Structure 1
């Protein structure tokens, strides 16, 4: 039976009364209104005074030179270590590299930031700043501190220096302490200096001036500016840059930066485009630059030799009055010229081979090697080997920007580079060997012709030798100049592999704050918080809130619901017999005959409660009064010997009472007092005895009840609270009916478990619940078969309460 009772109770607790829930919310509408208004106001302030953040975007198309993946690359792709779009990912890493960011930052005038001071917040200015700061980058400046600038009446400016700042040298991109610079402290911090437009302010820790002042805008306003070091700027913009694919499967890159100064961010993105394309072009031009450097060094040597030989030839012709050689001499000279030209070309190629071999021995990067074709080398195998090795170095360097050396792809490329270098060295050894043989052959053939020339006359022989040297140097010079021009044209024709699709553009609407979203969130929170408060308060509230709460924790019937009043008297029925509260007691009286099963009406009635303050005495007084008003001879007995008080409400004395009779000090008739109501008598508790329990439990008390039954129609016992004193349980076993008083919004539901357990087990019979001080809440309805009354309570409370006093006092 107990388990069934618990199951029913749990089902009732788990059920949700939607209508009741809505009424709870409606009853708390002022809290909802205040929370919603407050939330909307906060959202308005956030939208009004938050710094607006804009989104700036641009798009770059990444060129792809991928040749496909074979062999090991296919295996690495299959196991997830290698991305086929590796070149695309490498470009993303380059865009996010600190080196490129530093180049961009240094190309822009971002060292000085400007701020306008408003009433509630400061906002950053950019090109619209009413002044600019020109500073000496070769001089130390104070960074990371705010300089405050204001205008004087005479057109000058007052500059207040920052409280804390750090000396920094922009030319070296280093702090003064890092450069071991000795900076003396002359008390410049927090100082205020007056300066005119264009006048330099210079000391050991700063050197700048105010220029480009817009006096109309500057007047009556204060502004701030600060110097920022390159490292901070690089970190700031590098972390702000977001790089993502523009579309799935595309090699286009979307660049995004969010910032409070959109035009400044736009300039940064545009500069990033330029430096990024320049960075890629510099890598492509590096081979051409090295080629031009190599050729220029060779040309310098040949220019000197050619000038000397030309001067010697002119002087020889002039001194010997010789213009042309003999026909035989010219024939030999032409053959010798052809051999020496071929020898010079072979010698140049041989120098390139030796240069290349030495380059390999030094284990230098082959990405920037001088191209063979630029030096007239046409060996297809050598050209292919150098091209393969250069491509591998390009891939390796791209990976090295953001990937560790122990990465499987890096290790694979390093192995390929080592193999290609080994093959190239072996090939160069063979080529150099063949070149040496060719040079030796040329030298032998040239020597043979030189022996033939030795038979010529001395003057012609000398002329041939001089002319030979001149033509040889001239042809070599022409050859190198041609190669230099070709390298220059190749460098000039180089274009970046990547290109800008969309320049930086500012999106129209700021991404922060989101006005409509903030208002929507405010509205939701403005409803959620009070709803959570109402539900939480209801969830954790264990007080009796109505008839349903009583029925959920006990099976004892409800006999009556007594209303609430603010009157200061307990004798409501006698003082206001026509009040609605008096009607609720008449309803209680009417229910007596339905509650007693064995007799028409119960004669001895006890009234108790769980604890003090629940209205037990108030209920006893008015129940006895309403019974007396029905012309029934009624006796009200104060059985609570520990706290006697009912006599005060009738203006009677407590000199003698129940304790006097039970202790044998007085006779029964001596302790009965008459009230102003003819049919109502009273036995007060009397003086407080030292042994109240023993007196109550004694035979004299039970004998007294037997005598009183013969004299009165009804006897109402105002007993002690059942939750505090054990006497009441024994008294309830000798009464005809018992009433258990609970107070609305006061009695804890758990207190009813004590009486309910005894009622369910059958140890406590003839008992019913009285709900006292009931206040009808907005939206709640109730009704039951026993009747009820409206009223205004009996506790000393204000006649009218504000909503919050009433709501939070529940």
Structure 2
């Protein structure tokens, strides 16, 4: 017998581990199944390889806002810093754009994926490994692409296209136009197909179709872009994919599309400059023709052939001033044309540069302005004008445009002042040439205009040639420093990690199942569970027995069942009053089905093993009698109900001998009455117990469940000991609180628990009951 201290601070590691140790085979099975699944997964998974390439970005800056010369000073003063149109970080983002992904898909027909189906694992065919090439000519508007793949098979070398989703099965001709519900396609023989490279190939293939946007999004997710080093301008491109030829093609196409866009961006500036120069050449050519015509007409009208005359010294003195006027005049014209062009410009377009304007500040401002315009146009390919970055660049462009205009106006004023100074000097010299005819002065004026136009014309022709050369010779912005290559070993599946994870999962799953089972288990399963719920002593554990084994203890019985009841017999001696004979022992429970009648019957039989003991068992559960089922051969005419109801019935009339034990008598419940509580409280039961005490050493009273009816509480005062039966894996833990409350309130006295139907692994003393006895 054990008394429970009910101390929750005592941690019993054995109790914690017991549910897991008792189901150790679960873990073995879990690990075995997990390993089998892991090996199956590894066997059926395609190896995934890492394909990498590296490019060097030319003219890229690491630090944002880096600037040199006057442009850097202007950015610092005006607040235009913080955005470098050629920063390496921007180039990283360009590589990730969906526009480039769309170009890759369009240029390589990646909307269609072809897989061979003759193996357990589907294997993608691409390039020279695919016997056919499928091209999507155009997508049909507002039509959804198929979720399931099409099947392409060959019947007598003729392709047949099938789809369960669209209920299609049609023979097609190579190279002919095919109209599908979602797109128009063409299926052609692949001239690059290498049968030796592929080996054995079947005649059925799965065809997966995808939209342009869907395929582009897949490319975006696959390709990884990062810097090789924080201080370098080398970008690493990589992706993990099972079809290595396709992966290498994607990386090469990505680099080609990037360079193509970069060249277009760079040429846009030179193209605008060329257009401006061509317009100016046409205008200057027309003006030069007018000047030459006026000069010719002047000579004809005044019959002049040679103007080099008397004033040679004065003319030589004024040659320097004249030279300066020519240069300043040309600069003035260029400056004025740029101002006019700037005022006429609509939207955000690049400005002509390197047209011969001799002003470094304006040239640098124009160069910086063009970079910002190009950067803005690039961002607008993947963003809206309301994007914060686009708005920031737009503000910078507007501010820069104002700065350019102010710079040109200041330059114009400066040129005009210088020109006025040289004109004034020339006038002073001219006033000294008093002998030069009026005609000569007019001629010199025409000649001077002619020289200005000629110089400007030649300058524009030179700049046009330079611009044409820059358009014709453009090097790629991204130079490939590491062509695409495939890793030596697959990066997936990682066999060691998968096997380790399978081991962990194989152990973890049974652990979680057992833990959840224990967590949500509200039933008592062992003595340890019961000890945690009550301070009431536990006097015995009754083992679970099979249905094909007799449920009653026999004489000279050495089974586990008999041994457990002998321990119960020993333990109750410590709870019964000292030096007292003729004890009344109540056997009760909380609800029906916990085994109180089973315990009552076997306890009575065990008590009779002593030669001096005579025992009687009374079935007081007159609402639901159960004693009769242990003695099916007996047909009692009268029982407790009749005795309580009829004062003339004697004790001897209701006493019956137990067929298997002559020392154990039985008083059956009798007929089920309509008023059980009135009968049990009419006093006759107390009289019966007193008379039985004279005849018997032990009186076992099989009572009604306490939680269901109050019958037992009405006569519990007659009990010397109350045995409270609970059943393993049946009695809810909450019911123990009812027993505790009944003891605390005094409804029950001298109570002890019996745990019935305990499984072998949950025995508090191990599973050794009967050890050495069963083998006799």
Structures share fold, TM-score greater than 0.5: yes
Q: Which of 651, 654, 667 in structure 2 is aligned with 1:671? A: 654
Change (3 A) 1:719 1:415: same
1:27-426 to structure 2, matched below 5 A, reads: 27-49=22-44, 54-57=49-52, 58-61=54-57, 62-63=60-61, 66-67=66-67, 82=82, 87-103=87-103, 105-106=105-106, 108-110=107-109, 113-118=112-117, 122-127=122-127, 128-133=129-134, 144=145, 148=150, 150=152, 152=154, 154-160=156-162, 190=168, 192-196=170-174, 206=184, 208=186, 210-212=188-190, 214=193, 220-224=203-207, 226=209, 228-229=211-212, 231-238=213-220, 240-248=222-230, 250-259=232-241, 261-295=243-277, 352-363=334-345, 368-372=350-354, 374-375=355-356, 377-378=357-358, 382-395=359-372, 397-398=374-375, 401=379, 403-404=387-388, 411=395, 414-426=398-410
Report the alpha carbon displacement of residue 663 of structure 1 after superposing the two structures with TM: 0.9
Report the alpha carbon displacement of residue 139 of structure 1 after superposing the two structures with TM: 12
Secondary structure at the aligned position of 2:579 is classed as coil
Report the alpha carbon displacement of residue 543 of structure 1 after superposing the two structures with TM: 2.2
Residue of structure 2 in register with 1:579 after alignment = 559
Is residue 341–residue 472 contact of structure 1 (8 Å, CA) maintained in 2? no
Is residue 628–residue 634 contact of structure 1 (8 Å, CA) maintained in 2? yes
Is residue 328–residue 415 contact of structure 2 (8 Å, CA) maintained in 1? no
Secondary structure at the aligned position of 1:747 is classed as coil
Secondary structure at the aligned position of 1:629 is classed as coil
Change (3 A) 1:647 1:469: closer
Report the alpha carbon displacement of residue 250 of structure 1 after superposing the two structures with TM: 4.6
Q: Which of 511, 514, 525 in structure 2 is aligned with 1:531? A: 511
Change (3 A) 1:92 1:359: farther
- How many residues align structurally? 725
Report the alpha carbon displacement of residue 474 of structure 1 after superposing the two structures with TM: 9.4
Asked whether 1:742 is paired with 2:726, we answer yes
When structure 1 is superposed on structure 2, of 622-631 and 205-214 the one drifting more is: 205-214
Residue of structure 2 in register with 1:709 after alignment = 693
Q: Which of 664, 667, 679 in structure 2 is aligned with 1:680? A: 664
Residue of structure 2 in register with 1:173 after alignment = none
Report the alpha carbon displacement of residue 696 of structure 1 after superposing the two structures with TM: 1.5
* CA deviation map 1:710-768 (0-9, x unaligned): 12222221121222232223433212222222222222232222333343455533332
For 1:162 and 1:775, locate their aligned partners in 2 and report how far apart those are by CA, in whole Å: 56
Change (3 A) 1:99 1:659: closer
Secondary structure at the aligned position of 2:726 is classed as strand
For 2:599 and 2:139, locate their aligned partners in 1 and report how far apart those are by CA, in whole Å: 95
Secondary structure at the aligned position of 1:764 is classed as coil
For 2:536 and 2:143, locate their aligned partners in 1 and report how far apart those are by CA, in whole Å: 84
Q: Where do 5+ consecutive residues of structure 1 fail to align?
A: 165-188, 311-324, 456-466, 793-810
For 2:289 and 2:236, locate their aligned partners in 1 and report how far apart those are by CA, in whole Å: 58
Change (3 A) 1:302 1:83: closer
Residue of structure 1 in register with 2:535 after alignment = 555
Is residue 114–residue 129 contact of structure 1 (8 Å, CA) maintained in 2? no
Change (3 A) 1:507 1:137: same
Residue of structure 1 in register with 2:497 after alignment = 517
Asked whether 1:637 is paired with 2:633, we answer no
Q: Where do 5+ consecutive residues of structure 2 fail to align?
A: 293-304, 441-446
Report the alpha carbon displacement of residue 534 of structure 1 after superposing the two structures with TM: 1.0
Report the alpha carbon displacement of residue 531 of structure 1 after superposing the two structures with TM: 0.8
Change (3 A) 1:477 1:760: closer
Secondary structure at the aligned position of 1:678 is classed as strand
Report the alpha carbon displacement of residue 607 of structure 1 after superposing the two structures with TM: 1.5
Is residue 725–residue 754 contact of structure 2 (8 Å, CA) maintained in 1? yes
Report the alpha carbon displacement of residue 32 of structure 1 after superposing the two structures with TM: 2.6
Report the alpha carbon displacement of residue 200 of structure 1 after superposing the two structures with TM: 6.2
For 1:191 and 1:568, locate their aligned partners in 2 and report how far apart those are by CA, in whole Å: 65
For 2:601 and 2:180, locate their aligned partners in 1 and report how far apart those are by CA, in whole Å: 95
Is residue 369–residue 397 contact of structure 2 (8 Å, CA) maintained in 1? yes
For 2:180 and 2:338, locate their aligned partners in 1 and report how far apart those are by CA, in whole Å: 54
Asked whether 1:24 is paired with 2:22, we answer no
Is residue 351–residue 366 contact of structure 2 (8 Å, CA) maintained in 1? no
Change (3 A) 1:649 1:500: same
When normalised by structure 1's length, the TM-score is 0.74
What's the RMSD between the two structures over aligned residues?
Answer: 5.3
Secondary structure at the aligned position of 2:718 is classed as coil
For 2:713 and 2:266, locate their aligned partners in 1 and report how far apart those are by CA, in whole Å: 103
For 2:165 and 2:570, locate their aligned partners in 1 and report how far apart those are by CA, in whole Å: 86
Residue of structure 1 in register with 2:443 after alignment = none
Is residue 112–residue 133 contact of structure 1 (8 Å, CA) maintained in 2? no
Secondary structure at the aligned position of 1:370 is classed as coil
